Amino acid sequence: MSVRKQKDKFGKKHIVCDRRWPDGTRFRRVMPNRTLAKQVDARIAGAIAEGRWRSLKQQLERGTSKQETVKDFADRYFNEYCRAHNRCLRRKITSLKAIKRHMGRLPLDSVEVRHAYTFIRRRKEEGVSNATVNRDLAALKHMMSFACTIGVLTANRIAGIKKLEEIREERPRPTDEGIDHLLSCTDPRIKPIIGFIRETGCRLEEGLSVKHTQIRKQDRIVVFSGNTKSGKPRFVPLTDEAIQWIEEMPLLPGCPYVFWHPKSQTRWVNIRKVFNKARREAELDIQIKDLRRHYGIVLSENGAEMHVIQAMLGHSSVTITEEHYAHFSPHYAARRAFQVLQGRKKGGLNRELKSA
């Protein structure tokens, strides 16, 4: 068998991937687990069957060389994995820059736990938050895991490092009055965009890139798709105000986007500079993402179930939704319990059970 258990001279068992290339040479490597060993073995078998085994052999042999540094492999990881699998590269680029700056000269196969903790300490000394350090650490750990997957490393020594505790700073809660005042101070060019985000709870990029084909006025629905964070389409209802904001933007021949820039005659790329001017004039500490948070708060405090809010905001799980929005409606559970208890006392619950 090409993947098997084998004892070393000290009697310790290891998972070994052992296979011969068509030229008679042997590939033998100790792997951290059987799953990874099978993945590498399958890659070799597939390359041999397709006749491209020579390039894979060179790649695996290059991976065993101690000359490949963290900086070299970070570039390779970005080009071979991130470009194909990551929807948003901005965060990954930022993390990899920090990794190359602090760990770039280290040989890849020499990276140990102590190096990771040194990296964490240096990032903290630069004044970044625990959340940012965790994103960088996740990128580093995944890069090392990818190195194991393609056979460059035999083990990811930093896989067990725990992330730092993130201290979430509570921002001022946005109000309807505050947002109305902000809109009154907003440049007319972006006012429809801000109003649309407020009424649909979409992310900024989703709002800026929404097209006329995504608006279904007859069904009163907007379909966010193509650039959602999860990659899945999201169906969000259009309120009367949302439709009014859409209709404030006249159709521009040749432009598929709802909200377009008057000079470029295409979609807005960035409205932050114009938005920041409006919030300074309004003297309010409101960020664009607060409009989305306000949307979730309104749904939560008016009795919408968490799975409904999750669907509207496009969260990957109800847990994320509860973490951010459940605490904004502390009295809702009490009100629902009161309604049920009052209904039972009046016989309403018993009547429902009898009729069921």
Is the pLDDT higher at 99 or at 157? 99
Domain-embedded: residue 46 = yes
Residue 15 — pLDDT band, cuts 50, 70, 90? confident
277 falls within a domain = yes
CATH code of the domain in which 107 resides: 1.10.150
Does the pLDDT at position 45 exceed 50? yes
Q: How far is CA 75 from CA 104, 108, 215, 343, in A?
A: 10, 12, 40, 64
Q: Greater confidence, 18 or 122?
A: 122
| 8 Å CB contact between 190 and 245 | no
14 shares its domain with 59: yes
Tell me if 299 is assigned to some domain.
yes
Q: Tell if the pTM clears 0.85, that is, is over it.
A: no
Domain of residue 47, residue span: 3-63
Q: How far is CA 341 from CA 124, 335, 338, in A?
A: 52, 10, 5
Number of domains in the chain: 3
Of 241, 243, 238, 235, the C-alpha closest to 220 is 238
Question: Any idea which residue has 């067990």 for tokens?
Answer: 160
Q: Are residues 33 and 75 in the same domain?
A: no
What confidence score (pLDDT) does residue 335 get? 64
Report how far apart the first and last C-alpha atoms of the chain are (Å, whole number).
62
User: Per residue in 178-212, pLDDT tens?
Assistant: 999 999 999 999 999 999 999 999 999 999 999 99
Q: Are residues 191 and 306 in the same domain?
A: yes
Average the pLDDT over 261-284 and give the result.
93
- My answer on whether 295 and 198 are in the same domain is yes
Query: Is 106 inside a domain boundary?
Result: yes
pLDDT reported for residue 354: 45
Say if residue 214 is in the same domain as residue 315.
Answer: yes
Domain-embedded: residue 328:
yes
Same domain, 199 and 297: yes
Q: Please identify, among 44, 63, 82, the residue that sits at the C-terminal boundary of a domain.
A: 63
Note whether residue 55 is domain-resident: yes
221 within domain boundaries: yes
CB 20 within 8 A of CB 26: yes
Identify the top-confidence range among 163-172, 190-199, 304-313.
190-199
* HSE value, Cβ hemisphere, 13 Å, CA-based, for 343: 12
Q: Is the dihedral of CA 106, 109, 112, 116 positive or negative?
A: positive
Spell out the SS3 assignment of the chain.
CCEEEEECCCCCEEEEEEEECCCCCEEEEEECCHHHHHHHHHHHHHHHHHCCHHHHHHHHHHHCCCCCEHHHHHHHHHHHHHHHHCCCCHHHHHHHHHHHHHHCCCEHHHCCHHHHHHHHHHHHHCCCCHHHHHHHHHHHHHHHHHHHHCCCCCCCCCCCCCCCCCCCCCCCCCCHHHHHHHHHCCCCCCHHHHHHHHHHCCCHHHHHCCEHHHEECCCCEEEECCCCCCCCCEEEECCHHHHHHHHCCCCCCCCCECCECCCCCCECCCCHHHHHHHHHHHCCCCCHHHHHHHHHHHHHHCCCCHHHHHHHHCCCCHHHHHHHHHHHCCCHHHHHHHHHHHHHHCCHHHHHHHHC
Same domain, 45 and 103: no
Domain boundary pick from 47, 63, 79 = 63
Q: Which of 39, 63, 87 is the last residue of a domain?
A: 63
Q: Are residues 136 and 11 in the same domain?
A: no
Note whether 219 and 257 are same-domain residues.
Answer: yes
Average pLDDT over residues 129-143: 94
C-alpha 109/C-alpha 63 separation (Å) is 9
pLDDT at 353: 41
- Token code pair at residue 337: 């319990």
Kindly report the CATH number assigned to the domain that includes residue 210. Answer: 1.10.443.10
Shared domain check, 46 and 78: no
Between residues 23 and 151, the one the model is more confident about? 23
Assigned domain for 101 exists: yes
Are 93 and 208 part of one and the same domain? Answer: no
121 pLDDT exceeds 50?
A: yes
21 and 103 together in one domain: no
pLDDT at 312 over 60: yes
Residue 28 φ/ψ, nearest 5 degrees: -140, 125
Task: Give residue 333's pLDDT band: very low, low, confident or very high (50, 70, 90).
Answer: low
User: Quick one: pLDDT at residue 244?
Assistant: 95
